[in-house]
A and B are shown apart, each in its own frame.
Chain A
Amino acid sequence: MSVAVDLFIPGRSWLHQTDPRVKLLFVTVLLILLILFKNLWIMAVILLALHLLHWSAQTPFKKIWFIWKTLLPVGILMMLLRTIFYPAGEVLFSFGIFRLTTGGLTEGMVLALRIFSMALTVFAWLYTTTQSDLVQSLVRLGIPHAWGMVLALALRYIPTFQWTYTLISEAQQARGLDIQGRKGFQRVWLMMPIFIAMIISAFRASNQLAMALEARGYSSQRSKRTTLHPLSFRPADYLITAILLLIFGTLLFLYFWSGFGSHPILLLS
């Protein structure tokens, strides 16, 4: 009764139909911008825009919630660490050696927003791009097909391994392995049987996968492949690319020319 989560969500939205190379460009440039910008307001706007993007791509609510739920602990932790260890600006509150400062708080929030935005960006790509398109877009960029396959298969097997992990840990607990309530190294040590069984399973699965690939005539040496849906730029793709380049170009220009977005609070410094 597999309840595996697939990354790709079948659909016919404009983002699904956009050429995967355009999406790859979008992801790359946006990730660069997200790393460069340090401004709280810009981060908030990007995060909001990404939600709108997902909404327009008809991403189901629970898939968005999945991202939030998974990253929330990380986001909060990063925010707290940043806030505590990089004090700057006015002190709002102090307790012993810890000081809550306006600067620290802002930077912590920027960091958290950045994490969420990056995840939403990457998932906007993965949720709307089929495996073969994903591989194709990489191949067209000059990456060998086998490498693209490796990436695609890795993504494809994440949910499978999650499910295997659940089953294996259940199987070990049912044999009296008591990991509940244990902490730290003791827990890790007790979980060794689970990890070992995981590795053995993975090897077995990869062996069978290799044979299945061969049975379909796949060979890493052969490069002459066609595709069911060959990539081709539609007029819309040129338009989207042009708009993307224009927006990103402007932002980058502003960033380097006037320091736009490099201050935590002020838009122009």
Chain B
Amino acid sequence: MGPTGGGKTTLCLALNGIIPHSMGGTIGGRVLINGRDTRHHSVPELAQTVGLIFQKAETQLFNMTVEEEVAFGLETLGLPSAVIHDRIDWALSLVGMAKYRQRSPFGLSGGQKQRVAIAAILAMKPPVLVLDEPTANLDPIGKREVFAAVNHLRQHDGMTIIMVSHESEQIAEFGDRVAILSDGKIAYLGSPQDIFCPPQTIQSIGLNVPQVSLLADCLNRKREQQLRLIRLNEAFEALKGIQLVVPLEKKPPESESDQPSSPQFVIEDLTYHYTGQQHALDQVSLTIQPGAFLGVIGQNGSGKTTLVKHLNGLLRPVTGRVLFDQVDITSRSVAQLAKRIGYVFQDPDHMIFSETVFAEVAAGLRNLGYDEAIVADQVKKTLAEFELHPYAEHQPTQLSFGLRRKVSVAAVVAMDTDVVILDEPTSGLDQRSTDELLKILQRLNRKGRTILMITHDMNIVARFIPEAVVMHQGKILAHQSTRDLFQNDALLDMAQLNRPQITQLARQLNSPWPALTPAELCQQLLDPEEA
């Protein structure tokens, strides 16, 4: 684990010799893998000892069928065809992808693609597997699939697994040892328990810890206990039997008084399908009030992006209509709508093109034809808000992924639109950057801006987002408050979504009013006097 720019990827690349063999730079010290010095063995040789899996599945799959994908490394090793066949069968069945042997990798889901990438490396039978944030871009199902596959490899095949991840709860579940990389150094090294308890140490460098560790810490401080919790089942064992106290004033709030204001977006019976495909959206209706902060959640392919792309005209309805401030948006171009509706794309690299961060953030405003004085003023304000001002004259393409992400959000926020739509703006960000971003969005929301955010991270939904739209197979299953959502078993099951760990624990402990944050559950676990 480690904050963005901490050196995690660099370390991974050093483990299989890409550093120093294929990248410029200087290396000091040495890396020994099973006694072999990486400096004296080529990358292709080392590939048989250390298998390396990257974050983006798309960029590591380059063949036309799953079978060829897995065969590629084995062909490089010069193995006879019969052996290759056996290895393909073996590797694909280990990751649960045997059925897909003849399929094209591009048609697969994110989790499936990542599992094919793992199989392609596995087939070469390296004793060590290094995975660089393999689940960062996956939906909840994909994450579950990949973690299950990797854990299976460790338990049944005795492989050594080195995984970079921000998923502290999964690390606590599966990891033996955790190294924290910060500023290019190993800041901490220890068992998950040592790392996550107490949580302040690694929170202070911007990383997240399992929610139950936060809960334990809260309880410890109030009660002078020494709870060291990192896993859900431990927490349940330690806390079961405690009578939960639900403070009266914190009973579920009555449904908010209906706002008299007219809705900002009205979506009526919207249906859309991509050429030659099933319905991506199937008779969807939704009303969004001005000033709402709305999460859009659901698995990949459930229609989230397709839905929000209709709000700024990037997609045009096949049937149904979209009203923005009572006006059908069909009559307006994307560029016209851009004045009032900002849209942050999933991949920051699809947005960034300027020579400096300043110019990048200014580009939208300039497109809209604002006066240069206003542009300069607005850009400065936005850069300060995002704490990007030290980078104003830097080249955005040279920045780290986390900073590029920030620039791409700032570039849209600078346009000061009434509505800001964000497509998975936190994937690949560490905890601190995520929290900072969400706080900026909350501030914008308090100023009356409508925020729509697609996300796979249920912790973010629970902590920051008051209401959510749940999508499944092109339909909207529900549009309700976050608290109601996480109480609704049937709904979560159908959309195959996970609860945040703390909400899950609260339900196991029979809380009448499931907590959304560790602090809330901590309150409920304390006697009123203690609290």
A227→B62 contact, CB < 8 A = no
Tell whether A210 pairs with B76 under 8 Å between CB atoms, given A176-B415, A229-B81: no
Contacts of B121 in A (CB 8 A): 215-216
A230→B81 contact, CB < 8 A = yes
Q: How far is the CA of A10 from the CA of B101 in the complex (A)?
A: 11
Interface flag for B43 (CB, 8 Å):
yes
Interface flag for A81 (CB, 8 Å):
no
Minimal Cβ-Cβ distance residue in B for A224: B78
The smallest C-beta distance from A176 to any residue of chain B, in angstroms, reads 3
A173→B75 contact, CB < 8 A = no
Interface residue ranges of B52-101 to A (CB < 8 Å): 52-54, 56, 58-65, 67-68, 71-81, 84-85, 88
A210→B75 contact, CB < 8 A = no
A228→B71 contact, CB < 8 A = yes
Interface flag for A90 (CB, 8 Å):
no
The smallest C-beta distance from A129 to any residue of chain B, in angstroms, reads 9
Q: How far is the CA of A178 from the CA of B367 in the complex (A)?
A: 8
Q: How far is the CA of A211 from the CA of B44 in the complex (A)?
A: 11
The smallest C-beta distance from B451 to any residue of chain A, in angstroms, reads 16
Interface flag for B333 (CB, 8 Å):
yes
Contacts of B53 in A (CB 8 A): 215
Q: Which of A105-113, A162-170, A242-250 contacts B (4 or more CB under 8 A)?
A: A162-170
Contacts of A224 in B (CB 8 A): 78
Q: How far is the CA of A173 from the CA of B336 in the complex (A)?
A: 9
Interface flag for B364 (CB, 8 Å):
yes
In the complex, the number of residue pairs spanning A and B with C-beta atoms less than 8 Å apart equals 202
Q: How far is the CA of A160 from the CA of B105 in the complex (A)?
A: 13
Contacts of B120 in A (CB 8 A): 216
- Residue from A2, A8, A156, A215 whose CB has the most chain B CB atoms within 10 Å: A215
Contacts of B16 in A (CB 8 A): 214-215
B350→A228 contact, CB < 8 A = no
Interface flag for A132 (CB, 8 Å):
yes
Contact of A170 among B44, B306, B345 (CB under 8 A): B345
- Residue from A176, A196, A210, A214 whose CB has the most chain B CB atoms within 10 Å: A176
Interface residue ranges of A198-213 to B (CB < 8 Å): 200-201, 204-205, 208-213
A175→B411 contact, CB < 8 A = yes
Q: How far is the CA of A49 from the CA of B458 in the complex (A)?
A: 57
The DSSP consensus for interface residues of chain B is mixed
Chain B 322-359, CB-CB to A under 8 Å as 1, else 0, gives 00000000000111101101110101011111100000
A1→B314 contact, CB < 8 A = no
Interface flag for B504 (CB, 8 Å):
no
Chain A 253-265, CB-CB to B under 8 Å as 1, else 0, gives 0000000000000
Minimal Cβ-Cβ distance residue in B for A208: B59
Tell whether A130 pairs with B65 under 8 Å between CB atoms, given A171-B345, A174-B343, A210-B22: yes
B339→A217 contact, CB < 8 A = no
A204→B103 contact, CB < 8 A = no
Interface flag for A183 (CB, 8 Å):
no
A222→B81 contact, CB < 8 A = no
Chain A 43-81, CB-CB to B under 8 Å as 1, else 0, gives 000000000000000000010000000000000000000
Interface flag for A219 (CB, 8 Å):
yes
Q: How far is the CA of A214 from the CA of B121 in the complex (A)?
A: 11
Tell whether A218 pairs with B76 under 8 Å between CB atoms, given A1-B280, A200-B349: yes
A178→B306 contact, CB < 8 A = no
B43→A173 contact, CB < 8 A = no
Q: Which of B153-161, B237-245, B271-279 contacts A (4 or more CB under 8 A)?
A: B271-279
Contact of B64 among A131, A170, A213, A214 (CB under 8 A): A131
A225→B76 contact, CB < 8 A = yes
The smallest C-beta distance from B524 to any residue of chain A, in angstroms, reads 41
Q: How far is the CA of A2 from the CA of B137 in the complex (A)?
A: 14
A218→B334 contact, CB < 8 A = no
A131→B68 contact, CB < 8 A = yes
A178→B333 contact, CB < 8 A = yes
Q: How far is the CA of A217 from the CA of B45 in the complex (A)?
A: 7
Tell whether A228 pairs with B351 under 8 Å between CB atoms, given A209-B59, A215-B16, A216-B73: no
Q: How far is the CA of A175 from the CA of B415 in the complex (A)?
A: 8
A3→B314 contact, CB < 8 A = no
Q: How far is the CA of A175 from the CA of B74 in the complex (A)?
A: 46
A175→B54 contact, CB < 8 A = no
Tell whether A164 pairs with B62 under 8 Å between CB atoms, given A62-B276, A215-B47, A215-B121: no
- Residue from B300, B301, B353 whose CB has the most chain A CB atoms within 10 Å: B353
B68→A214 contact, CB < 8 A = no
Contact of A130 among B68, B76, B339, B351 (CB under 8 A): B68
Q: How far is the CA of A211 from the CA of B47 in the complex (A)?
A: 11
B65→A205 contact, CB < 8 A = no
Interface flag for B102 (CB, 8 Å):
yes
Interface flag for A27 (CB, 8 Å):
no
B350→A217 contact, CB < 8 A = no
Interface flag for B212 (CB, 8 Å):
no
A3→B59 contact, CB < 8 A = no
The smallest C-beta distance from B493 to any residue of chain A, in angstroms, reads 24
Tell whether A212 pairs with B78 under 8 Å between CB atoms, given A174-B314, A180-B335: no
A173→B47 contact, CB < 8 A = no
A197→B84 contact, CB < 8 A = no
Q: How far is the CA of A194 from the CA of B81 in the complex (A)?
A: 44
Contact of A10 among B47, B77, B102, B397 (CB under 8 A): B102
Tell whether A197 pairs with B352 under 8 Å between CB atoms, given A167-B347, A178-B367: yes
Tell whether A211 pairs with B54 under 8 Å between CB atoms, given A3-B277, A170-B345, A228-B81: yes
Contacts of A209 in B (CB 8 A): 59-60, 62
B124→A216 contact, CB < 8 A = yes
Minimal Cβ-Cβ distance residue in B for A131: B64
Contacts of B264 in A (CB 8 A): none
Interface flag for A35 (CB, 8 Å):
no
Q: How far is the CA of A33 from the CA of B151 in the complex (A)?
A: 58
A204→B349 contact, CB < 8 A = yes
Q: How far is the CA of A153 from the CA of B339 in the complex (A)?
A: 40
Contacts of A7 in B (CB 8 A): 64
Given contacts A130-B64, A176-B368, 19 further A-B contacts (CB under 8 A): A1-B306, A6-B104, A7-B64, A8-B104, A10-B65, A62-B276, A132-B75, A153-B62, A167-B347, A170-B309, A177-B367, A178-B333, A197-B349, A211-B18, A216-B121, A217-B47, A217-B124, A225-B75, A230-B81
**Top 4 A-B pairs ranked by shortest CB distance?**
A176-B367, A178-B335, A212-B60, A216-B73
5 contacts between A and B (CB under 8 A): A1-B300, A196-B353, A215-B18, A217-B45, A217-B77
Chain B residues packing against A (C-beta within 8 Å): 13, 16, 18, 22, 42-45, 47-48, 51-54, 56, 58-65, 67-68, 71-81, 84-85, 88, 102-104, 106, 120-121, 124, 274-277, 280, 300-301, 305-306, 309, 312, 314, 333-336, 338-339, 341-343, 345, 347, 349-354, 363-364, 367-368, 397, 411-412, 415
